Amino acid sequence: TKNLPKNILVDLHFHHYNPEVFRKQIEESIGKYSKYVIMPFDHPGMEKILGLIPRDKLLVIDWNIHSETADNLLYQDFGQSVFDGLEDLCHLLGKYREFVFLYPEFTNHPMESVQFFEKFCLKNNIKYSVLNDSSNFDVRAGVAYFSVSDRMLGRFLEQCREKKLEPGRDTGILSYNETPMKKFIYKGITVISTDFQMMGRKAAEFVSNDISMQICVPTKVYVRESL
């Protein structure tokens, strides 16, 4: 919204990954807006719902899924970009005896990241595991963690404080998605993240101009002291 002209008004709706909420929001919005910027999610009814929106007025952002009904895409890569980011961090991960992907039962993060995490570990002969049950999460010394949930990141930091483990020395954490606070928490959290500022700028270009776009937003690694 910061990149939009002042004469453009924006309504923001949250679907909370609920298909019925999403369907109702879209059905009630048809014809009310000149452009639609939608972040979809993995559900079999998604494509039919998106099909209600005129193709030239729809921009699918963040996740390139169920995008067959859209001419315009502005997305991040949850697979190969994760692999490439982990390769950049390989020299830091070598300090740890095991690498654990925290993929809790409440996350909506694409499973594709887990597949490329496993591919990276196998290529580099790194002992690894994937933790799906958050109730079994127990931070261990000598182990690095990759979290796609900020809730799990909070639990990691809480356990480190209780067990007197120093992130980046006794144990390590890599987080997905940059936020303003991650550069300050515990001397800084190492992050793999797409460029959300660029995504915002490009989405604003779509809204304010009659242009089409097919853009994969680059993913970056922010190295800090947590790993």
Write down the mean pLDDT value for the chain: 94
Rounded to 5 degrees, φ, ψ at 161 are: -65, -45
Paired tokens of 73: 């895409």
What pLDDT score does 69 carry?
A: 72
What pLDDT score does 200 carry?
A: 95
Instruction: Kindly give, in sequence order, each residue whose CB lies less than 8 Å from that of residue 226, ignoring residues fewer than 6 positions away.
Output: 167, 168, 172, 173, 174, 175, 186, 187, 188, 189, 190
| pTM score, whole prediction | 0.90
Give 33-57 pLDDT, tens digit per residue: 999 999 998 888 888 999 999 999 9
Residue 79 and residue 111: Cα distance in Å, rounded? 9
Contact 155, 120 (CB under 8 A): no
Residue type at position 197: Q
Paired tokens of 87: 């390769």
Q: Is it the case that residue 64 has pLDDT exceeding 90?
A: no
Rounded to 5 degrees, φ, ψ at 167 are: -60, 135
Q: Is it the case that residue 211 has pLDDT exceeding 90?
A: no
Instruction: Kindly give, in sequence order, each residue whose CB lies less than 8 Å from that of residue 26, ignoring residues fewer than 6 positions away.
Output: 49, 50, 52, 53
Q: Is it the case that residue 161 has pLDDT exceeding 90?
A: yes
* pLDDT tier at 223, thresholds 50, 70, 90: very high
